[in-house]
Structure 1
Amino acid sequence: MDIVTVVGARPQFIKAAVVSHALLAAGVQERIVHTGQHYDPGMSDIFFSQLGIPAPDTNLEVGSGTHATQTGTMMIRLEKYLLEQRPDWILVYGDTNSTLASALVGTKLNIPVAHVEAGLRSFNMRMPEEVNRIVTDRISDLLFCPTSTAVRHLENEGISQGVHLTGDVMLDATRFFAERAQCFEMVYPESPFYLATIHRAENTDDPDRLQSILKAFSLMDQTIILPLHPRTKSIIEAFHVPNNVTIVAPVSYLEMLSLITAADKVLTDSGGLQKEAIWLSTPCITLRDETEWVETTNGKWNQIVGAHTESILKAVQTDPEGACPVFGEIPGTTASNEITRLLTT
């Protein structure tokens, strides 16, 4: 069997890494295509060696641009590659423009498409990711759902064929790489600290929301570690950066897992970080108005607060109730192994 995996951003490589290990163990030939959707200087040879996967077979080098420019360019370049390779399956992850472009090209070329993280819904059509999810789910042949909630979303949309509850590949990745992350010797603040990440346009490109978030940070009594990419850093530094906020350069995935584990709480607008925080037993405060990962909110382990200063501060002062939510796991197997089994049977 021959599979082409298409990814375009660092989180997708992390998800793909654990599935790639399972595919290799099953004797499946896999080629990885990097669309180049996100330029990330951290994605060097060291990055791939940390994940234990080979560098991509090819890089489409699409780069930044409007949604239409990115998606269209990917489709043109990916079509040429797939016509040459003619794989048995195209494997896509998540909800980026790379996901959508790959699913569209595969469907047009009559190459079966398998979607990992199918069925997620924020019910916010203003999010480009929501459009990508809905369209990709509609045209994929196999839909690998991380949770029973995701399965229900597809059922409500009339999609039942090819739908499978596999568990969450990010849980596989978190468990596998958290052990490696323990080997990192990182310098943490002497006092307890919070870990924060801000990257979504709804926060970074809205001055009122960003100002409200930074105001909340300034009123907290703990140091806040804030890893930022250069673009987001320049936006935030145009405002007054609170004295208790320490901006650092982007960190590797293993370093991020180490920071999550050491932090008292996580404040983020990232989808993946919400889950990783809960799995690593660190309370999370989500700086968005909704979440796809509703399971994380049980027991107030993940509080959805938007960008309201008062709501953020109240959430920081609220402790979770009971044990961490359990989700994303299928008894007796892993998501990576279940996905591999379904692709090869």
Structure 2
Amino acid sequence: MKKILGILILLIVVCGVTAISNENFVSAYNIQNVTRLTSLFGIISIGVAFVIISGGIDLSIGSVICLIGTMLPYLLAKGVPVPLAFLLVGVLSICIGLAHGLLITKLKLQPFIVTLCGLLIYRGVARGITEDQTQGFGTAHAGLRYLATGKIDLPFIEGFKLPVPFLIMLGLALLAAFLLNKTIFGRYLKAIGNNEAAARYSGIKTDKVVITAYVICSFLAGIGGILFGLDINSVQPEGIGNFYELYAIAAAVLGGCSIRGGEGTILGVVIGAALMRVLRNSITMLGIPSQLEFAIIGAVILVGVVSDELVKRYAQKRRAIQQARQTSG
């Protein structure tokens, strides 16, 4: 909870400074855009949170977004019915997560290596199938785009409309929070992140839990790929999803997910995703050169990781002192 409070205060400070410096930051149009993008990146951040909590990592998220985001319009352009196209890309994203989980648990390969290979393979497959041609939904599937670009009027709030992706993210976040905090799976996931060997010896089927975490991550990346594709309506295989895993991992770490595993909350991840989008928006609003964007994001991730390590060391030291006092007393 302390981590969530800290990142929330940081988000408020960044919003406050940017709003004071540029009044357009609080315009209805800008808030709608930030909310929409926060929702899209929040979905993929929730997915990677499950993997990080298990003690793993997934570097292939951006390429999964690329593959799914290009395959959906590609299939629709080939005359595949909408329901079947959605089913195919959904199954594909699940199979990707399943493959990751099996390679990591059964062959004991490092998550970093497995997902790094995935990062290269999935984008390469997408570019090969589409021959690097831009894919789009055109006007024939304008109704589908409502999922990513639709807005809902809110009573008593003039000028602001709630983006539909926010409702999708909210539903997924509530489901993820329930899964993580109110089910045996969630308790097992955290136990594995804290100490996988101890969890295995206690009777937990660690392989099954870890595989499920990677399936969830890839499936949510697939949902993100669909929504990103619908949002931009002009999907370029070589560009879509580039570095998106960076934003997702950063949001999860900033939101309280320990890079060592075993800790994390969905609320914190969503706040972390909001901070990442607000930071990027603030860079534009404050007139900071866009070339510094990745430097700033990288610095934020580093601060998050260093802070996590310092907090853990302080907690361990304090716990050791308390135990020593109890023993001597």
Q: Rg bigger for which structure? A: 2
Is the strand fraction higher in 1 or 2? 1
Shared fold per TM-score greater than 0.5:
no
Calculate the TM-score normalised by the size of structure 2: 0.23
With a CA cutoff of 8 Å and minimum separation of 6, indicate the structure with the bigger relative contact order: 2
By percentage of residues, which structure has more helix? 2
